[in-house]
Chain A
Amino acid sequence: MNPYQAMIARNWKAATPYSALFELTYICNHACSFCYNCPTGEKELNTEQVFEALRKIADFGVLFITLSGGEPLCRKDFFAIAAEAQRLHFAIRIYTNGYLIDEAVAERLAKEVHPFEMEISLHGARPESHEALTRVPGSFVKLVAGVRALRKRGIKVLLKTPITKLNMNELREMRALAEDLGAEIHFDPVVTPKDDGDQEPLQMGADEEFMKRWWSDEFLDVREEKVPMRRDDKEIAAVCGVGRSGFAVDPYGNIYPCVQWRRKVANILEIPSLRDVWKGSTVLAEVRRVAEEIPRTTLKNSDVGEFTAFCAGVAWLQTGDPTRMYHQAELTARFRKKAYLELKARSDAGEVIEGLDNVFEKCAE
Chain B
Amino acid sequence: MGEMIGPDGSRPPRRNPTAGFRVFEGEATIVLPDGSYIKVLNETGSRIWDLLDGSRGVKEIAALIAEEFETAPEAAERDVREFVEELARHGMLEKR
Residues B14-32 near A (CB distance < 8 A) = 18-25, 27, 29, 31-32
Once A63-B29, A63-B31, A86-B18 are accepted as A-B contacts, the answer to whether A16 and B24 lie under 8 Å apart by CB is yes
CB neighbours (8 Å) of B75 from chain A are: none
State A62–B21 Cα separation when bound (angstroms).
9
Q: Tell me if B38 counts as interface (CB < 8 A to partner A).
A: yes
Q: How distant is B83 from chain A, measured CB to nearest CB, in Å?
A: 15
Q: Tell me if B34 counts as interface (CB < 8 A to partner A).
A: yes
Q: How distant is B17 from chain A, measured CB to nearest CB, in Å?
A: 8
State A116–B20 Cα separation when bound (angstroms).
9
Q: Tell me if A154 counts as interface (CB < 8 A to partner B).
A: yes
Q: How distant is A186 from chain B, measured CB to nearest CB, in Å?
A: 15
State A155–B18 Cα separation when bound (angstroms).
13
Q: Tell me if A91 counts as interface (CB < 8 A to partner B).
A: yes
State A11–B25 Cα separation when bound (angstroms).
9
Q: How distant is B79 from chain A, measured CB to nearest CB, in Å?
A: 18
Residues B34-57 near A (CB distance < 8 A) = 34-36, 38-40
CB neighbours (8 Å) of B23 from chain A are: 61
Q: Tell me if B9 counts as interface (CB < 8 A to partner A).
A: no
CB neighbours (8 Å) of B38 from chain A are: 4
Q: Tell me if A349 counts as interface (CB < 8 A to partner B).
A: no
Q: Tell me if A75 counts as interface (CB < 8 A to partner B).
A: no
Let me know if B22 and A117 touch, CB within 8 A.
Answer: no
Question: Interface code A1-34, partner B: CB below 8 Å = 1, 0 otherwise?
Answer: 0011011001100001010000000000000000
Q: How distant is B85 from chain A, measured CB to nearest CB, in Å?
A: 20
Let me know if A115 and B33 touch, CB within 8 A.
Answer: yes
Once A18-B24, A61-B24, A90-B20 are accepted as A-B contacts, the answer to whether A114 and B33 lie under 8 Å apart by CB is yes
CB neighbours (8 Å) of B18 from chain A are: 86, 114
Q: How distant is B90 from chain A, measured CB to nearest CB, in Å?
A: 14
Q: Taking each of B21, B35, B38, B39, which has the highest tally of chain A beta carbons within 10 Å of its own beta carbon?
A: B38
CB neighbours (8 Å) of A90 from chain B are: 20
Let me know if A116 and B29 touch, CB within 8 A.
Answer: no
Once A4-B38, A116-B36 are accepted as A-B contacts, the answer to whether A10 and B25 lie under 8 Å apart by CB is yes
State A175–B20 Cα separation when bound (angstroms).
30
Let me know if B31 and A11 touch, CB within 8 A.
Answer: no
Q: Tell me if A56 counts as interface (CB < 8 A to partner B).
A: no
CB neighbours (8 Å) of A346 from chain B are: none
State A154–B32 Cα separation when bound (angstroms).
12
State A6–B22 Cα separation when bound (angstroms).
15
Let me know if B40 and A4 touch, CB within 8 A.
Answer: yes
Given contacts A18-B29, A63-B20, A64-B31, list 4 more A-B pairs with CB under 8 A: A11-B24, A63-B21, A86-B18, A92-B20
**9 tightest Cβ-Cβ pairs between the two chains A and B:** A91-B20, A91-B31, A3-B40, A114-B33, A114-B18, A63-B22, A116-B36, A116-B33, A90-B20
